[in-house]
Each structure stands twice: as structure tokens, then as C-alpha cells.
């Protein structure tokens, strides 16, 4: 189990201002577009590369609230960007209703460079567009009628290009009258320019199929990854599953190469199910579950599967999941925990990627801190050579709000990533080369502390500092809670009843130039929020010449108070003269952030 390591403020400063050890210079280029806030799915395939050009599909804001347009952007080898939207019948940009986590675009280019786009389907009929000119993102036209199985509803399209230039799409098909949502694989033949259904991959009454990934190996075989939930739908899935389709003879095989008969049932056996039920888990469990997975294929075989797995109730739909990696050792699936959520102050979100080149495996995920000031996120790369230990490195900056990603490996081994921060409307093209690899990274605790410390708009040098308080209400409300980076009701310092002048002093590991002190206080369940915040208090700093008052706050009703400062100090103290407006008149402090830019 990984546990956070408490760093000194000096170490945090180094972690924030000096890049952690990294591989040969990753590059992030912001795509010159604006994405919609609905551009959030964690399992779709919104990017492809073909003959030196990269393609990015995304939801763009529409003029009507609650709706989005669907756009494609292309980047040529010389860095030139083009952008086009999918058209409606009149030639304007088509719009669809926002549906976070579902209505996302997946694309693939076939061997002739024709773009295929599957968009904004959540139990809807086919929404499919195809380019009329190879490689041209401005030439797509609606072509849904060319696909089989009209009349069904479809969700979660995942795409891949075959070795022969064909295009594949894996989807969930809705047959709700039979209490079935099965998985279906379709193929576009460039010779006939027609789509056909390859197979119903997997099906089970009262079960719902969730597509995860498609990858094509060097031999042309299609590796298929999915998970199961109870019919009709759920956010907690189970029985992570894997099979291989060989278009050369139309056969399906398990990880050992043994023949399979499709459609596969939910309990298809331990050579198909890489993540079986654990410890009382069932198809309806919410305390143990799978949530999103991706494949790494190397040469003509599976390298491994990266996925998120919940091992205990988390109290939330998307939090509390471990990052896991499964591989086949020739006799059985071997599952390992890359990052254990238990004991961590930082979570990871519902998105994951994995690549393999040579002996080096990389797993990409997004770390999140739900601390003061809202959610902050950081794209993280976990890397190892062979079966060695995992080392963690940040990719890009700490961002406000959530991030999502998709990763794929280029022919030269470079990783190409689609990274989006929909809360700020941004999208990045990231490349992570493998040449000159020095064996990058360190413990995840460095990433966690860097993420927590970065949220104050500078460096929070009070994080995990030493704390002295005048009193404590109860166990679990000690002073250290006020410097742990978290703003939650179970992470507060609360002074004792009868302490009419409570105080809290935060010791820094050395003197820092301080630009601001932020005080977060209160109680989320207070009937009137303003009653439980600190009412009257002074902010004081210990300088080379002793204690001095930075500011006095009176009559406060705000949960967050920002106090500008221009002082160099090694301690900060709150001297509280009126703890709250509540009948239980105690100080309730979520967090004290001491911000330094030096």
C-alpha cells in the first residue's frame, strides 16, 4: 500500500518550482479551439494519427445552453491546424443535447485516410459521419443509414483501424425489451465501402455491456476489452473481460489462444475475465467495482490492461478507486495495484490510458485533489521497465477543475495524448517521447503534495506544517487538520467549548516571503452558513523582529478570507476573539494556507 510522505515546505517548494525528474522532454501544445464543458468522457477514442497528421474530435459550445456542436481538428506535420464541425441538413453545425460522460465523439481514419466519426449517442440510433475527402476535417457528411442494425440504440463507441486499412467500431447495443444491452463489433471494408456486423461479442440477460477499448496488433488481430454491469445501467461495473478477434479466419480466442464461441456470457471463464469478482462482489455491488480500462498491445500480443478498481465503499460514484494493472503470465492473470487509493489524500478520476514500447510500460491517469478552492487536477504518468517498480511523474501543470485524457502509441514509440480540461474549455496535444529515456519519476507522494500545495495560487508553505493550538474539541479535530490541504467537515481544527480566545499557530520550516494568508472556516451543514465561520480574528506573523499583526478581521461572514501580506516569516498565527455566531461558540477552521511566491 502506498502512503503519503510528508514533505517539508522546502521540499514542496522544490517540487513545485523545479520539475520532477522526467523523461526526454514531453511537449504540450494547446489546441487552438474551445471545448464544451460536456467534453468529459473517460473511455472514448477522440484522437487518431494518419500519415503524419493528428486528428482530435471534441464537443464545442453551441449557441443554445445545454447543447454542444461536434468538431474535428487536424494538425499537420508542419504544425498547421484546421477545424471543422459536423453539419446538419442545412449546412450549419449540428448540435446535440449535453450528456456528460456519454455523448462524446470517437473517430478513426481508415487505410485510405477517410475519417469516420461516431458522436453523441446515448441509447440513440446511429449518429455517424464520414469524410467525403480523405483527411479533410471540413468534409464530413451524415451517413448513419449505411450502418447495420438500424432501429437499435447505441452507446459508447470505441474505434480502431485494422492492419488492412478497415475501420472497426465496438458499441453497446440496447435491446431493452429483452433486458439486454449487448456488445457488438462492426467493420468498414474499404474495398466495398460498406459496414457489416462482425459479431455480437458478448450478451447476457439482465446484464449491460460496457465497451472499454479496441487495439489492433502487428498480425492484424483485434483485441477487445469490456466490462459488465447490471441491466439497464450502472456507474459501478464488474468482470473486466478480454478477447481477440482474428479477421483472417473470423475466429475468436481467449488470452491463451483457445477458441471461443460468441456471444460470450458475463461469466465467460478465467481466461476471458481478467478481473473477477472479489470478496462478496456481485454484479450489483457498489463497494467493489471496475471503472474504465485500456489495453496495451506490443507486437502481436497483449502486454497488459490498466484499469480502475474499487476495493471499499467510497461514498461517491467516481472516487476511491485504485489504479491496477493486469497481465497474463502464461498460466493465469496477474493483477497488481499500481496506486492504492487507501491512505492517500489525493484521488484519481475516471480516466486512464496505457502504452507499451519495448520493455517500458506507461500508465496515464489524472490525480485529483478536492481541497480548498475546488477540484484541482494533474495528469500523471506511471512508468516502469520490465517488472520493476512504478515511478510517477507529472505531465503538464496543475489545473483547476477536472481533466480527461486518451493515450496512444505512435509508430516510433512516442506517446500521443489528448488531454482536455473542460471546465476551462481547453484541449492539449501532448507528446511523450521514449528516446533518451533516463528512467524518470519518483514516489506518488511527491505528486500528491505538489498537487495539494499548488492550489493556493502560489506555493502553500503551510501544508503539513507543525501546529500548536490552544485547545481541541474532540479526537479527530486536532490542529493538524488545518494544514492537511483538505476542506471537508471531517478535516477541521475545532477548538474546545469554553475556550473564549482560541488560537492556532502554524510553524513553517524556514522563513518565507509571504504574499497572502487564506483562512477557510465554517461547517457545510450549518443551517445558516455564515453562523459557523470565524467572526473576529487577527492574522499575525512571526518575523526576525518578533510577532507582528498582518491584519484584523471583524464581523466576518465569509467561508474564505484572503488576507494580503508583505512579510517574511517563519510562523503564522490566528488569534481569535469571536469564534462564531453559533450557540456552540467554537472555532471551526478547515484550512490555513500561507502563500509564498519566493
Residues 297 and 357 sit within 8 Å (Cβ to Cβ): no
Residue 515 resides in a domain? yes
For residue 400, list its beta bridge partners. 376
Q: Which residue has the cell 456542436?
A: 69
Residues 542 and 594 sit within 8 Å (Cβ to Cβ): no
At 455, phi and psi to the nearest 5? -80, -5
pLDDT, position 436 = 56
434: left (phi over 0), alpha (psi -120 to 50) or beta: alpha
Domain that holds residue 470: 458-596
Mean pLDDT, residues 98-110 taken together:
94
Residues 361 and 383 sit within 8 Å (Cβ to Cβ): yes
Residue 519 resides in a domain? yes
Mean pLDDT, residues 345-356 taken together:
91
- Lowest-confidence region among 1-5, 209-213, 260-264: 1-5
Residue 554 resides in a domain? yes
Cell numbers that stand for 40 in this block: 468529459
pTM for the model stands at 0.82
Indicate the pLDDT class of residue 445, thresholds 50, 70 and 90.
confident
Residue 530 resides in a domain? yes
Residue 257 has pLDDT above 70, yes or no: yes
pLDDT, position 319 = 84
Query: How far is CA 148 from its chain centroid?
Result: 33
Indicate the pLDDT class of residue 456, thresholds 50, 70 and 90.
low
Residue 469 resides in a domain? yes
Measured at the alpha carbon of residue 582, what is the angle toward residues 576 and 587, in degrees to the nearest 5?
30
β-strands 207-216, 180-189: how paired?
parallel
Total structural domains in the chain? 1
Residue 246 resides in a domain? no
For residue 309, list its beta bridge partners. 290, 322
- CATH number of the CATH domain containing 484: 2.60.120.260
Residue 215 resides in a domain? no
pLDDT, position 373 = 67
Residue 346 has pLDDT above 90, yes or no: no
In whole angstroms, give the CA distance from residue 48 to residue 132: 18
In whole angstroms, give the CA distance from residue 408 to residue 215: 10
Residue 282 resides in a domain? no
Amino acid at each position: 500500500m502506498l502512503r503519503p510522505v510528508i514533505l517539508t515546505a522546502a521540499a514542496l517548494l522544490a517540487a513545485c518550482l523545479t520539475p520532477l525528474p522526467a523523461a526526454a522532454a514531453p511537449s504540450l501544445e494547446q489546441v487552438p479551439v474551445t471545448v464544451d464543458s460536456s467534453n468529459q468522457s473517460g473511455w472514448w477514442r477522440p484522437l487518431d494519427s494518419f500519415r503524419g497528421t493528428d486528428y482530435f474530435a471534441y464537443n464545442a459550445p453551441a449557441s443554445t445552453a445545454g447543447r454542444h456542436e461536434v468538431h474535428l481538428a487536424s494538425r499537420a506535420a508542419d504544425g498547421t491546424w484546421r477545424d471543422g464541425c459536423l453539419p446538419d441538413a442545412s449546412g450549419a453545425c449540428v448540435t446535440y443535447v449535453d450528456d456528460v460522460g456519454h455523448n462524446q465523439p470517437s473517430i478513426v481514419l481508415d487505410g485510405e485516410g477517410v475519417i469516420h466519426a461516431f458522436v453523441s449517442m446515448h441509447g440513440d440510433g446511429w449518429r455517424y459521419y464520414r469524410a467525403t475527402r480523405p483527411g479533410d476535417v471540413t468534409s464530413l457528411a451524415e451517413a448513419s443509414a449505411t450502418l447495420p442494425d438500424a432501429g437499435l440504440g447505441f452507446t459508447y463507441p470505441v474505434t480502431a483501424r485494422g492492419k488492412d486499412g478497415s475501420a472497426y467500431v465496438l458499441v453497446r447495443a440496447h435491446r431493452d425489451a429483452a433486458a439486454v444491452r449487448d456488445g457488438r463489433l462492426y467493420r468498414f471494408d474499404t474495398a466495398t465501402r460498406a459496414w457489416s456486423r462482425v459479431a455480437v461479442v458478448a450478451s447476457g440477460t439482465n446484464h449491460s455491456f460496457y465497451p472499454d477499448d479496441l487495439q489492433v496488433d502487428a498480425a492484424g488481430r483485434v483485441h477487445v476489452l469490456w466490462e459488465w454491469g447490471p441491466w439497464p445501467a450502472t456507474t459501478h461495473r464488474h468482470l473486466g473481460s478480454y478477447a481477440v478477434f482474428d479477421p483472417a479466419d473470423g475466429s475468436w480466442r481467449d488470452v491463451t489462444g483457445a477458441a471461443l464461441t460468441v456471444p460470450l456470457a458475463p461469466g465467460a471463464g478465467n481466461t476471458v475475465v481478467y478481473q473477477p469478482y472479489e470478496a462478496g462482489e456481485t454484479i450489483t455491488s457498489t463497494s467493489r467495482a471496475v471503472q474504465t480500462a485500456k489495453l496495451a498491445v506490443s507486437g502481436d500480443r497483449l502486454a497488459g490492461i490498466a484499469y480502475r478498481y474499487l476495493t471499499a465503499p467510497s461514498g461517491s460514484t467516481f472516487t476511491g478507486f485504485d489504479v491496477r494493472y493486469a497481465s497474463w503470465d502464461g498460466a493465469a492473470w496477474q493483477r497488481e495495484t499500481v496506486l492504492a487509493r487507501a491512505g492517500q489524500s489525493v484521488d484519481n478520476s475516471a480516466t486512464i490510458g496505457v502504452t507499451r514500447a519495448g520493455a517500458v510500460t506507461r500508465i496515464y491517469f489524472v490525480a485529483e485533489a478536492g481541497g480548498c478552492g475546488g477540484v484541482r487536477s494533474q495528469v500523471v504518468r506511471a512508468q516502469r521497465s520490465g517488472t520493476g517498480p512504478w515511478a510517477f511523474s507529472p505531465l503538464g501543470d496543475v489545473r483547476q477543475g477536472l481533466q480527461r485524457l486518451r493515450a496512444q502509441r505512435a509508430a516510433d514509440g512516442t506517446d500521443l495524448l489528448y488531454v482536455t480540461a473542460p471546465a476551462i474549455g481547453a484541449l492539449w496535444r501532448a507528446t511523450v517521447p521514449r528516446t533518451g529515456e533516463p528512467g524518470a519519476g519518483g514516489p506518488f507522494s511527491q505528486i500528491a503534495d505538489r498537487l495539494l500545495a499548488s492550489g493556493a495560487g502560489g506555493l502553500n508553505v503551510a501544508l503539513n506544517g507543525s501546529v500548536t493550538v490552544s485547545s481541541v474539541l474532540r479526537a479527530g479535530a486536532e490542529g493538524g487538520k488545518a494544514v492537511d490541504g483538505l476542506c471537508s467537515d471531517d478535516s477541521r481544527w475545532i477548538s474546545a467549548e469554553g475556550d473564549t480566545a482560541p488560537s492556532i499557530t502554524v510553524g513553517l520550516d524556514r522563513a518565507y516571503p509571504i504574499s497572502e494568508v487564506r483562512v477557510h472556516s465554517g461547517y457545510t451543514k450549518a443551517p445558516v452558513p455564515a453562523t459557523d465561520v470565524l467572526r473576529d480574528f487577527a492574522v499575525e506573523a512571526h518575523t526576525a523582529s518578533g510577532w507582528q499583526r498582518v491584519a484584523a478581521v471583524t464581523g466576518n461572514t465569509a467561508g474564505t478570507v484572503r488576507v494580503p501580506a508583505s512579510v517574511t516569516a517563519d510562523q503564522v498565527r490566528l488569534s481569535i476573539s469571536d469564534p462564531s455566531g453559533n450557540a456552540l461558540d467554537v472555532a471551526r477552521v478547515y484550512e490555513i494556507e500561507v502563500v509564498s511566491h519566493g
